[in-house]
């Protein structure tokens, strides 16, 4: 079983990757997508999205950080994949799942799920451009507005030479509405020879158990569940390996994480943005920790960043 930490724009950045992989349970992380149009991007763009390139493409805990690219030009995608590898990326993931209008109207992300042949062309161009020992993967959804091309797209990913595929079990039109359609993962898994990593609605160990039963897949990618329950990957790993001694993180543990996030950001980010970021995380933590609401309410009253640590230690 492999667990990947999903990219979440504006949420799962290098700070969050550092904290969550320190807790443990992850086999790899994927960056937020880097938008590729028609030219080779400068090194600073890759460094901004993936500061871990300076540490051999890994987080401080040694977890590989895969760079994700989004675009529709096969040649430009291949060139930028090569640059990412030259800079130290341990792998390349190609985004064909983003549902954002600003991306889709420029023929990127989930828009390409309407064109399996172009999906194939992009993946093949990247696969042929980078060394064969470098893993190349693709993340797709079940379709754009329907699931009509779900199997065609999955087969295109495999035929183009991808090492594995990640499938968010919703269409673009579904966006993030529940429930994820895990039964489709079973169909995709049945026709492919490459590993299938399922994504969507895995927010607890119980969810993972149901996912196993319905999808027939073992590998997973978690995003929102990982942020709202920071030790989720470790919980799932303990369950999978039949360990029963794990004590889940309590609210005091979570407060330590919030403090660690603020301290890590302080040298590079203005105080008011750090407070905004902590508030953002608290909103997601409210799903699992009732104390997060009270902390959020207190945080709204802060007048100075210097009060943040004292509040979190309360």
The pair of structure tokens assigned to 168 is: 């968010």
Bridge partners, residue 196, by sequence: 165
CB neighbours (10 Å) of residue 178? 9
Pick the catalytic residue: 29, 98, 217, 295?
98
Residue 85 and residue 126 in contact, taking contact as beta carbons nearer than 8 Å: no
* 3-state SS, residue 159: helix
Instruction: Please report, in angstroms and rounded to a whole number, the separation of the first and last CA atoms in the chain.
Output: 39
Q: Could you confirm whether 29 is annotated as catalytic?
A: no
Q: Counting every residue, how long is the chain?
A: 314
d(CA 232, CA 238): 10
Bridge partners, residue 198, by sequence: 167, 220
Give me the DSSP letters along 214-280: HH----EEESHHHHHSTTHHHHHHHHHTT---PPPP-HHHHHHHHHHHHHHHTTTS-HHHHHHHHHH
Pick the closest to residue 15 from 304, 277, 199, 202 (CA basis). 277
Give me the DSSP letters along 55-70: GTTB-TT--BEEEEEE
Which residues carry out catalysis? 98
């Amino acid at each position: 079983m492999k667990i990947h930490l999903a990219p979440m724009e504006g949420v799962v950045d290098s700070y969050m990757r550092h904290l969550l992989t320190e807790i443990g349970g992850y086999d790899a992380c994927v960056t937020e997508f880097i938008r590729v149009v028609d030219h080779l991007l400068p090194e600073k763009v890759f460094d901004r999205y993936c500061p871990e390139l300076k540490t051999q493409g890994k987080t401080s805990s040694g977890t590989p950080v895969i760079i994700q690219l989004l675009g529709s030009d096969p040649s430009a995608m291949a060139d930028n994949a090569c640059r990412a590898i030259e800079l130290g990326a341990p792998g390349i993931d190609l985004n064909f799942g983003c549902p954002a209008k600003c991306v889709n109207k420029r023929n990127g992300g989930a828009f390409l799920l309407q064109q399996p042949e172009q999906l194939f062309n992009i993946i093949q161009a990247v696969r042929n451009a980078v060394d064969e020992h470098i893993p190349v993967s693709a993340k797709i959804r079940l379709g754009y507005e329907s699931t009509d091309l779900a199997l065609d797209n999955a087969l295109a990913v495999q035929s183009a030479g991808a090492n594995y595929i990640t499938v968010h079990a919703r269409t673009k039109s579904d966006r993030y509405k529940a429930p994820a359609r895990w039964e489709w993962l079973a169909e995709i898994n049945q026709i492919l020879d490459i590993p299938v990593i399922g994504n969507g609605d895995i927010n607890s160990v119980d969810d993972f158990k149901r996912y196993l039963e319905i999808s027939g897949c073992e590998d997973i990618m978690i995003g929102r569940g990982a942020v709202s329950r920071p030790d989720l990957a470790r919980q799932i790993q303990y369950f999978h390996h039949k360990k029963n001694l794990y004590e889940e993180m309590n609210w005091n543990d979570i407060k330590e994480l919030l403090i660690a996030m603020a301290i890590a950001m302080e040298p590079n980010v203005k105080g008011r943005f750090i407070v905004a970021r902590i508030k953002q995380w608290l909103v997601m933590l409210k799903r699992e920790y009732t104390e997060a609401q009270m902390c959020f309410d207190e945080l709204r009253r802060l007048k100075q960043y210097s009060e943040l640590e004292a509040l979190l230690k309360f």
